[in-house]
Amino acid sequence: MNLRDHDVVLRLENVTKKIGKQVIVDGLSFDVRKGEVVGLLGPNGAGKTTTIRMIVGLIGMTSGDVIIQGKSIRSSFAEAIAHVGAIVENPEFYSYMTGWDNLKQYQRMTAGITEERIKQVVDIVGLSEAMGKKVKSYSLGMRQRLGIAQALLHSPKILILDEPTNGLDPAGIREMRDYLKNIAQQEGIAVLVSSHLLSEMELMCSRVVVIQQGKFVREQLIGSAAPQNTMNDRHQLMIRVDNVQQAASVLSSFEQIELIQQNEAAKELLVSCTDEWLARLVQELSKGQIAVYRITEIKRSLEDEFLAWTGGNQIV
């Protein structure tokens, strides 16, 4: 049993959705814990939106269960969903009403939300000025923010967002990212976002769950949450020197250092080794009077890894 089990806010247990003979989501299981921003990542048509709709009970599941704060969405919907704030696809509102009237609608649907809370939430998303205007006149960015406001209104334990940055401009995307990180850290809310935008996920999430064709592919910690490198890990390094030939011959004397590629024109060597052996290599190179101009670690981006996981043929 995981030590952090008590922190689990959302748990998917073998969630499966079949429509006719077609399997849309196939035995999907993962957890989302308190204070974490988890990305649900997959190519178009992987079943992200279907999964999210099942989590919030908009569509039924064929088998499996979704547990939110210990309550099943299937057997105790009202109790489970009370902990959830969500935007499924685009945030939609009664466009003929003002922003304030729309939020009042959701206030009436949950006991104990004060007017102060509405004002507070509106303040968080920076919409105070626009509350008296009809939603019709809102820009997409404003609607998105109003969407966040309605999702936060009842102080949920988990925020579920389907493609939250869809249609936002770069400034809006950045703003959204900052909100989500803040919310997760300061209020200890768990956040689950779905997206097919890798770069987005890389900046926003601490962990991604990758799915393809409705199936779990893998789970990966990213950013600062990723496991720190240890001395014994092998890294790919690009070394630029003044004399590639000589450097290569020095290299060949080390069994533990793998020469992957040698580029005469650019005077570059691509090698793979551990930290310890890199230090020795540098020593040997300077002993041999070979000038080292640059040593750069080649990191695989999430995009590369993602393509590797999903077979690469379905560009997202």
Partner 1 sequence: MYSFYQLTVNEGLKLMKKRSFFIPFLIMLLASLVVALVVKKFFYDADFGITGYMEMLIGLQGGGSFYTLLCMICIASIVSIEFRLGTIKMLLIRSHSRSKILASKYVALLLYIAVLLIFTLIVGSIIGLLVLGLNGGLNVGDILEAAGYTLVYTWVYVTIVFMLSALTKSTGATIGIVFLLNFFEGIISMLLSRYDFAKYILFLNLDLQMYQEGSPVIEGMSLGFSIAVILVYMIAFLTLTFYVFKKRDVA
Where on the chain is the footprint of partner 1 (CB under 8 A)? 53, 56-60, 77-79, 81-82, 84, 86, 88-97, 101, 105-106, 108-111, 150
Complex with partner 1: residue 72 or 90, whichever CB lies closer: 90
Complex with partner 1: residue 44 or 229, whichever CB lies closer: 44
Per-residue burial over 106-122, b = 16 or more CB atoms within 10 Å of its CB, e = otherwise = bbeeeeebeeebbeebb
CB 179 within 8 A of CB 124: yes
CB of 150 to partner 1, least distance (A): 7
CB of 97 to partner 1, least distance (A): 5
- Give residues with Cβ within 8 angstroms of 84, minimum separation 6: 55, 56, 68, 156, 157, 158, 159, 160
CB of 96 to partner 1, least distance (A): 6
Complex with partner 1: residue 96 or 170, whichever CB lies closer: 96
- Taking the C-alpha atoms of residue 102 and residue 175, their distance in angstroms, rounded to an integer, is 23
Complex with partner 1: residue 5 or 92, whichever CB lies closer: 92
CB of 280 to partner 1, least distance (A): 59
- Give residues with Cβ within 8 angstroms of 60, minimum separation 6: 54
Complex with partner 1: residue 65 or 305, whichever CB lies closer: 65
CB of 187 to partner 1, least distance (A): 19
Given its phi and psi angles, is residue 155 left (phi above 0), alpha (psi -120 to 50 degrees) or beta? left
Give bridge partners of residue 195 from the DSSP assignment. Answer: 41
CB of 161 to partner 1, least distance (A): 12
Tokens of 48: 């992200």
For the sheet containing 292-297, what is the strand order? 258-263, 268-273, 235-241, 292-297
Complex with partner 1: residue 52 or 210, whichever CB lies closer: 52
Complex with partner 1: residue 40 or 269, whichever CB lies closer: 40
Helical segments of 14-61, H only: 48-55
What SS3 class is residue 63? strand
Complex with partner 1: residue 46 or 208, whichever CB lies closer: 46
CB of 18 to partner 1, least distance (A): 12
Given its phi and psi angles, is residue 147 left (phi above 0), alpha (psi -120 to 50 degrees) or beta? alpha
Which pairing describes strands 190-195 and 158-162: parallel, antiparallel, or unpaired?
Answer: parallel
CB of 81 to partner 1, least distance (A): 5
- Taking the C-alpha atoms of residue 26 and residue 51, their distance in angstroms, rounded to an integer, is 10
